[in-house]
Structure 1
Amino acid sequence: MHRFKTLIIEDEPAIRKELEWMVTQKEELALTAVADSVAKALDLLAQTTPDLVLMDIQLEDGTAFDILHHHPSPAFRIIFITAYDHYAIRAIRYGALDYLLKPIDQQDFNGAIERLKKQEVAGLPGRLDIARQMAIPEKAVDMNAQICIAATDCLQMIRLADVMHLSGEGAYTKIFLQQGKRITASKPLKYYEELLPGENFIRPHQSYIVNRQYIDKYLKSGILVMRDQTEIPVATRRKEFIINCLTTLK
């Protein structure tokens, strides 16, 4: 059985110890080194060749992205470790990368390792680039930027500007793009509501999210008509919100 040589980068002693214990409990993982700073992590990465890096995002002397700046095309897989931070999580989700929230849950950790076994390193640099671009809180949303969608059979790269609307179907989401294209994503609609920029995407109904730029008109019967003539229902309790959004639409 292949064992993933594992490097832990974490500056909180309690979390670090917990990760060490979790790694040693998995037959498919082999703990090779531990770092508690950006400087030490860079040192270890220069000396070793891990298959997997459990990487804390916020370290005392920098961030995970400082480390990845020196490894723009990593041959190792990555699972980010983070306390909940809106911008960090959004950045990771944009790149469809895996992460664990502190405190680490054993079941979440096991799930991440199972996903790891199915994951390909190919395409990782591009996904990390997306995460880097989105990791800066002050950065204005670039609708020409790409987003990585975890589709049912692949990782699909699409432009934010090409997303017209999304439709939720239980644990899956259908994403409708320009020119009649569509993708079925293996994430629920709530995931995309948290991910997509609220200034550009609004949720008129529990089953739909729409790109404001593709709205053609609002019918008083409670229907949004998109430019491609798709009709999106507006929930009664959302009507005032939607009308307000449209009257301030620029």
Structure 2
Amino acid sequence: MPLLRTLIIEDEPAVRKELEWLVAREKSLKLEATAGSVQSALQIIRDINPDLVLMDIQLPDGTGFDILNALEDPAFHLIFVTAFDHFAIKAIKFGALDYLLKPIDQEDFSVAIQRLNKTKKSDHSNQISIAKKQSDAKAISMTSNLCVTSVDCLQIVRLNEIVYLSGEGSYTQIHLENNRIVTASKPLKYYEELLPEEFFIRTHQSYIANKNFIDKYLKTGVMVMKDLSEIPVATRRKEYVLDQLNLLK
């Protein structure tokens, strides 16, 4: 299998050296070039057409998203490298793209490369597209797309298709309209942090409901959805849930 020609985009010399060392240790990678700014990165991408880009989000003359937005159809695998930035990470998660937090852990880097080697560039193109749109959005709307890493594929769903989510250990069942179910390889807490509270409500340790699909609340502690599915409401969350329902009136 040919080596993945790799570009590092990072303006901090120490982090760049660390990434160079990590790339050199991976048998599937070959370092082609490094860049420290948006402008130099764009020129190099157009010149060498890399297979993999390790991209810092914050750069002296802009952000990693500025690079993506300047490219019409990025055709490379992408892993973000960043100090924690809540908004940027949210956009990345909407695209189900990989990211590494500084300081970079060697094992985390190797695991990210292993995952990457199992995916197709076409999948990454869809993921990048969703992340780009989310990074441009001033707020998340119910027409936003979410890229879900499922057990056997990458599934793109729209938020307004989700009826509710149910957690099963380290997996989440995403229940969509028309009785469709996507099994995501992420825990429910991951989606609780990602989905907007304006539209989604956690009713129970194992359930999150889309407020737009709630039909009624039964005094027995059960939420009935518009598709007639029933989800429990935990006793300790009852008052909070009822307050949220009153806001929908």
Query: What are the superposed Cα offsets for residues 67-114 of structure 1, whole Å, 9 maximum, x if unpaired?
Result: 112323222211111111221111111111111111111111011000
Alignment partner, residue 218 of structure 1? 217
Query: Residue 134 of structure 2 contacts residue 144 of structure 2 at CA under 8 Å; is this kept in 1?
Result: no
For 2:41 and 2:218, locate their aligned partners in 1 and report how far apart those are by CA, in whole Å: 57
Query: What are the superposed Cα offsets for residues 137-195 of structure 1, whole Å, 9 maximum, x if unpaired?
Result: 7x132212221111111111111101000011111111111111111111111111111
Alignment partner, residue 240 of structure 2? 241
For 2:34 and 2:185, locate their aligned partners in 1 and report how far apart those are by CA, in whole Å: 33
Query: Residue 203 of structure 2 contacts residue 209 of structure 2 at CA under 8 Å; is this kept in 1?
Result: yes
Alignment partner, residue 76 of structure 1? 76
Alignment partner, residue 127 of structure 2? 127
- What amino acid does structure 1 have at the position aligned with 2:147? C
Query: What are the superposed Cα offsets for residues 220-244 of structure 1, whole Å, 9 maximum, x if unpaired?
Result: 2222111122221111221111111
Mapping 1:172-211, distance limit 5 Å: 172-211=171-210
Note the C-alpha offset of 1:123. 3.6
For 2:136 and 2:204, locate their aligned partners in 1 and report how far apart those are by CA, in whole Å: 30
- What amino acid does structure 2 have at the position aligned with 1:233? P
Alignment partner, residue 167 of structure 1? 166
Alignment partner, residue 116 of structure 1? 116
TM-score, normalised by the number of residues in structure 1: 0.95
- What amino acid does structure 2 have at the position aligned with 1:46? R
Alignment partner, residue 17 of structure 2? 17
Query: Residue 81 of structure 2 contacts residue 102 of structure 2 at CA under 8 Å; is this kept in 1?
Result: yes
For 1:126 and 1:24, locate their aligned partners in 2 and report how far apart those are by CA, in whole Å: 28
- What amino acid does structure 2 have at the position aligned with 1:223? V
Structure 2 stretches of 5 or more lacking a match? none
* Structure 2 residue matching 1:218: 3-state secondary structure: strand
For 1:68 and 1:136, locate their aligned partners in 2 and report how far apart those are by CA, in whole Å: 11
Query: Residue 87 of structure 1 contacts residue 134 of structure 1 at CA under 8 Å; is this kept in 2?
Result: no
TM-score, normalised by the number of residues in structure 2: 0.95
For 1:249 and 1:103, locate their aligned partners in 2 and report how far apart those are by CA, in whole Å: 44
Note the C-alpha offset of 1:136. 4.1
Q: Does structure 1 residue 96 correspond to structure 2 residue 104?
A: no
- RMSD over aligned Cα atoms: 1.4
* Structure 1 residue matching 2:117: 3-state secondary structure: helix
Alignment partner, residue 47 of structure 1? 47
For 2:105 and 2:240, locate their aligned partners in 1 and report how far apart those are by CA, in whole Å: 37
Query: Residue 75 of structure 2 contacts residue 125 of structure 2 at CA under 8 Å; is this kept in 1?
Result: no
For 1:129 and 1:117, locate their aligned partners in 2 and report how far apart those are by CA, in whole Å: 20
Query: Residue 73 of structure 1 contacts residue 124 of structure 1 at CA under 8 Å; is this kept in 2?
Result: no
Aligned residue pair count: 249
* Structure 2 residue matching 1:122: 3-state secondary structure: helix
Query: What are the superposed Cα offsets for residues 47-86 of structure 1, whole Å, 9 maximum, x if unpaired?
Result: 2121111011111101112111232322221111111122
For 1:75 and 1:136, locate their aligned partners in 2 and report how far apart those are by CA, in whole Å: 20
Structure 1 stretches of 5 or more lacking a match? none
